[in-house]
Amino acid sequence: GKPIASDEAITHSFHRKMSPGDPRRAFPTSIVESHADEPFLPHHMGAGDAHVLCDIESSLSLCVFELKA
């Protein structure tokens, strides 16, 4: 909803819960764009002017995993 600078990186940290031994270490992610003002941003891809800019495959294969007690 807020303007972003095209010459600055956007980063976002997240946590993904996985079961011990889960072999899925990669997952698809879509980068989506909408030109709507903040109050009118679409809530899903099928609404408004939202469209996919690109699709990426995120890989957790090199990450260190911790088991939480």
The answer, as to whether pTM is greater than 0.85, is no
Identify the bridge partners of residue 35 per DSSP, sorted by sequence position: none
Angstrom distance (rounded) from CA 50 to CA 34: 5
Residue 37 pLDDT exceeds 80: yes
- Identify whether the C-beta of residue 42 lies closer than 8 Å to the C-beta of residue 36: yes
Residue 59 pLDDT exceeds 70: yes
